[in-house]
Amino acid sequence: MLIIRPIRSSDFDALYQIAVESGHGFTSLPVNEELLKRKIARSEASFIKAVERPFDEGYLMVLEDTDNGMVVGTCALEAAVGMEDAFYHYRLGTEVYHSEQIHVRNEVETLTLCHDYTGAAELCTLFLREPYRKGNNGRMLSRSRFLLLASHSERFGETVIAEMRGVSDENGNSPFYAWLQKHFLGIDFVEADYLSGLGQKAFMAEMMPRNPVYVCLLPEEAQKVIGEVHTNTRPAISLLRAEGFRCRGYVDIFDAGPTVECTLQDIRGVRDSRLLTVRIGAMPESKSNFLISNTKLADYRATSADLQVSADSDEVILSPELAAGLLVDNGELVRVLAM
């Protein structure tokens, strides 16, 4: 059985391997032993913390194959970004130049550095190891976070965002960043991305262009990738668009990948999920595939299963094995969402 659960300290070796496998541009998991251990400790503390309003909590989860005990994927939620460290984006805008005298009107696209998403919740750290990229595993791992959002919405910002990985080659070279490196930062993309992942962001405030950047003055290869996603990220952005996420004109400051957003309560997986009461027994034969989770926090568990769910009933029958995997008993609540 594949079970999604909060990360724990014993998962460090698996998390480190996932950080290695995720490659360049996966900022949220730098290959740094100390940082990864801090991420695990922060997540463990967040899952047991009493929260009155979202602040700087981070909820990191893993996908475990219970048949062999292997951790085969990760996903995470940030409660409210930018509350302690600056959270930068470029905002795409337009400046209009018009002269009646010479009968000329031009619209020029600009990029302006901003902190507009401060306080938003963030979907992040989604990674599935190669052998498990099949069936609905990726969809299950990604959408499991919506059930956590639905059950514990008070712990997250009202707007939920996701930063999509931008265009870069197999060596980690970004066409957009090449311009930034040449004229402003002076360090390569991999190093800048790594420092950002470590939370060492002072160089951004010190070296990034402070005034709006005219897109038309950028090299053509840099212009072409603004708002475009990495090939490996296309399935992820398609899934989020189906959930109601849209790009509102914000892109990453390093690779210009798009950031998508949706109001928490308008996310389809949050809105359409249902709370049902568990009855343990023999599961019916006529079933459909559902994402299912318990409603706990520190003991959060989620998976996918074939269930019989009726619009006329607030009850769902789970096998003893499935109930045990989800840490639920008779009479407890689970949250379900059609896959």
Tokens coding 103: 């009968």
Q: Are residues 170 and 295 in the same domain?
A: no
In a domain, 74, yes or no: yes
Taken in order 126, 132, 138, 140, is the CA torsion positive or negative? Answer: negative
Going by their DSSP bridges, the two strands 274-280 and 315-318 should be labelled as: parallel
Q: Could you tell me if 3 and 66 are in contact, meaning their C-beta atoms sit under 8 angstroms apart?
A: yes
Final residue of a structural domain among 269, 296, 330 = 269
Gap between the Cα atoms of 204 and 144, Å rounded: 33
Which pLDDT does position 193 carry in this prediction? Answer: 67
Write the CATH number for 181: 3.40.630.30
In this structure, the chain runs to a length of: 339
pLDDT exceeds 60 at position 141: yes
Sign of CA dihedral 80, 84, 85, 91: positive
Q: What digits encode the pLDDT tens for the residues 249-302?
A: 999 988 899 999 999 999 999 999 999 999 999 888 777 899 999 999 999 999
Instruction: Reduce the DSSP state of residue 59 to 3 states and report it.
Output: strand
Residue 270, amino acid? V
Which of 248, 269, 290 is at the close of a domain? Answer: 269
Of the residues 231, 253, 269, the one at which a domain ends = 269
Which segments of 8-79 does DSSP mark as H helices, in order?
12-22, 33-48
Structural domain for 176, as ranges = 2-89+115-269
Percent share of the chain, pLDDT over 70:
94
Q: Catalytic: 152? A: no
Q: What is the mean pLDDT of residues 176-193?
A: 77
Helices (H) and strands (E) in the chain, counts: 10, 15
- C-alpha to C-alpha distance for 248 and 262, rounded to whole angstroms: 10
| Pair (66, 153) in one structural domain | yes
pLDDT (tens digit per residue) in 229-243: 988 888 889 999 999
- Active-site entry in 24, 98, 183, 230: 230
Return the CATH number at 294: 2.40.40.20
Q: How many domains does the chain have?
A: 2
* 182 DSSP 8-state letter: I
Residue type present at position 137: N
pLDDT for 165 beyond 70: yes
Token pair, residue 73, equals 């994927």
